[in-house]
Structure 1
């Protein structure tokens, strides 16, 4: 975050044009980034299951989570120090498109190992760009960073448009989603080079693995509220890993044909729930707003179980809860950390949250759900949707445990208390 502030000081003086002239290209950047992500990631599990590779679904999402853990090391060691952000974006998406274009042949050939290698290679290229587009946007905005939430909103639109487009074309279970991703990635690579050039954010800085993994932020674990938040974030993100890995094949088992379109409802709901955050914080406070986000993960999987008894509407309702599950959990948690973490540790505190959510939590969730799927679901597929119930009990149980831990042990603190 400090690097961004420094860049703001250096670049703010040259950003004198109209706000729209600055916001429009950044909005397109965020739109393309999440269109690329949403075009394939949501229904990856369904595609693999449809082509007889259901045994590697969990591994595919596990490798994606591992890429989220490892990729900052690659970006921090090379990209941040030697290349302008727009060049890193172009190279990453160009390389990612090359890997993704090879995935359909591997899947259609039933080559699970090659498919996993290609997906992992792609995610190593893609994962760093998620944070990079945010950091670049904030740098270019300079003193106008207050409009960033509106720009970030175009990410939701990009994901929804991708999902609705893939679904309406009947590609939810098709390997063609990888081609959609690859083509969009090429467009992004070209578009990135049209963006305003900014210097490498860490040019001349000494490389430190400790800084990348947030070693300095270990001091925050002395504060009970931070430790409890990280533990609960980890447990909640395990549920997120289960959801990402197996929700798309489950919707197909329920008889839903436009799976990508239904999953897009989840991202659309984020746009609705995010605007309710100020109201929730005012009425409930930080602790109980976060509590709602965590507990709702258990509610959504309870709805999935209800759907197995003939109520597809319950499944759609569970997907629609994505907004409150994500916004009231991830967004409010980030807001809490921004409020209480000392300024010199703010970036690393946020990094720990991302590491728990996108890294360790999803990795554990993917691995655990894969084992349960192999033991309980796969051997009983003739039973239909009811065979999936044991899998959904895991996140429900985690939500109960998380609720108990959060209620008993979390005590909000002020920024002054944490700083001291």
Structure 2
């Protein structure tokens, strides 16, 4: 089978596993009385991302081939998520937070490092077969987003977005990917005979990237922008669905099919990924990151202004800018890290990037967002007052994103050479 096609299938499945529950889990949690805990569930993805991607990156660099480790991670993630679904099915409306949260946490502990590992597998296979990652990777990654969309729409139109069944869908896809990972080309570990220091052996060399001022600033802003990453995944669906409690919006398509509406965000992602090679070459990492940051301001602000009725165009526009907000940051950042680091620590460096964004950043972001939403929304019982609370919350998130954008524009220094992206150091 064609090499790019094999990596495309990997990317499709990798994100279909996540798409089955990421944007709809908040709805299920709300339906079983755990609405005030939504932020904790999404924050757990961040907490495990602080250490698991870096740890698995070290293991992949040194001891277990990345494609095999990827499969192992998906096996455990799937088993624990299927167990979470089974518990939800058995408990009905009497779901205990501690039990569901434990099973879900164990699942994401193994899923989150698989994102960086799948990137590392793709980069390694492409480089080993003489492909240019800047050109070859974005189209492959696009199919990850298509997989995410397909899983989202499946969960929406089967009615699973309000139930535990979404966990079963994700778990089954995870088992398929577990098997598939073992068919992928080998990604050699770095078994050098030369004497290494203790820190080198553990792969801690990647953390030395913080000594480079440019990389340190880049990683710090990756964390600050990572604060925004999961907020709409956790709260967009419950927010849009809440319009069903307002008589004027009760029968609107958007209020009744929040997941399908949100899937426009992922459609935008597929298009924006394909634009990355052009934008990176034309404008450089700083301007591309600034575009992403300003897109987050619009993403949140338009949620605050829109509604599923006459203002649905603002929701749609918010979904469109999401592609720029997410991809111009996540994919460009990943490519930037790949080009700026030595091949011996590539998996570890991707793990550090993941740790800063989906780890520290997303954890802080979701815990802060939970505080804001619980204060302005879930403290209210009247649907109209809850809606006002939602709008206030979105404006607070937009203001934060704007402050980060301005600071990044002033502080991050990077001279862009339009003719040549920096080659990997050897």
Q: Corresponding residue for 2:317?
A: 317
Residues 348 and 136 of structure 1: CA distance in aligned 2, closer, same or farther (over 3 Å): closer
Q: Corresponding residue for 1:24?
A: 5
Distance 2:100 2:265 in 1: 27
Q: Corresponding residue for 1:299?
A: 298
The reply to whether residue 273 of structure 1 matches residue 272 of structure 2 is yes
Q: Secondary structure at the match of 2:366?
A: helix
Q: Corresponding residue for 2:358?
A: 358
Q: Corresponding residue for 2:109?
A: 124
User: After superposition, where does 1:141-290 map in structure 2 within 5 Å?
Assistant: 141=126, 142-146=128-132, 147-193=136-182, 195-196=183-184, 198=186, 201-203=189-191, 208=199, 211-212=203-204, 214-221=206-213, 223=214, 226-255=215-244, 256-281=255-280, 284=283, 286-290=285-289
Shift of 1:321: 1.6
User: TM-score, normalized by length of structure 1?
Assistant: 0.83
Q: Corresponding residue for 1:394?
A: 396
Q: Corresponding residue for 2:251?
A: none
Shift of 1:36: 0.8
Shift of 1:51: 1.7
Shift of 1:377: 1.0
Range with greater deviation from structure 2 (164-173 or 296-305)? 164-173
Distance 1:229 1:90 in 2: 30
Q: Corresponding residue for 1:69?
A: 50
Shift of 1:370: 1.1
Shift of 1:375: 1.8
After superposition, give the CA deviation of every residue in 1:328-380 in whole Å (9 maximum; x if it has no partner). 22333444555666777776655443222111110001110111222221012
Distance 1:335 1:351 in 2: 13
User: After superposition, where does 1:34-113 map in structure 2 within 5 Å?
Assistant: 34-72=15-53, 74-76=55-57, 78=59, 81-107=62-88, 108=92, 109-113=94-98
Distance 1:32 1:342 in 2: 29
Distance 1:182 1:339 in 2: 34
Distance 1:247 1:220 in 2: 37
Structure 2 gaps of 5+ residues are 245-254
Q: Secondary structure at the match of 2:159?
A: coil
**8 A contact 2:116–2:351 mirrored in 1:** no
Distance 1:136 1:346 in 2: 10
Range with greater deviation from structure 2 (256-265 or 115-124)? 256-265
Distance 2:184 2:281 in 1: 39
Distance 1:138 1:412 in 2: 24
After superposition, give the CA deviation of every residue in 1:146-203 in whole Å (9 maximum; x if it has no partner). 333332222111111111211121222221100101111222222233x146265245
Q: Corresponding residue for 2:405?
A: 403
Structure 1 gaps of 5+ residues are 1-19
**8 A contact 1:167–1:260 mirrored in 2:** yes
User: After superposition, where does 1:367-382 map in structure 2 within 5 Å?
Assistant: 367-382=367-382
Residues 260 and 299 of structure 1: CA distance in aligned 2, closer, same or farther (over 3 Å): same
Residues 45 and 388 of structure 1: CA distance in aligned 2, closer, same or farther (over 3 Å): same
Distance 1:197 1:413 in 2: 36
Distance 1:231 1:81 in 2: 27
Range with greater deviation from structure 2 (20-29 or 260-269)? 20-29
Shift of 1:103: 1.3
Counterpart of 2:99 (choices 94, 107, 114) is 114
**8 A contact 1:303–1:315 mirrored in 2:** yes
After superposition, give the CA deviation of every residue in 1:274-298 in whole Å (9 maximum; x if it has no partner). 3333554566554333222101111
Distance 1:105 1:50 in 2: 16
After superposition, give the CA deviation of every residue in 1:61-101 in whole Å (9 maximum; x if it has no partner). 11111111221354256565444444333332222222111
Shift of 1:247: 1.5
What RMSD in Å do the two structures reach over aligned CA positions?
3.0
Distance 1:289 1:399 in 2: 15
After superposition, give the CA deviation of every residue in 1:227-250 in whole Å (9 maximum; x if it has no partner). 443343322221223222212211
Distance 1:343 1:79 in 2: 13
Residues 119 and 144 of structure 1: CA distance in aligned 2, closer, same or farther (over 3 Å): same
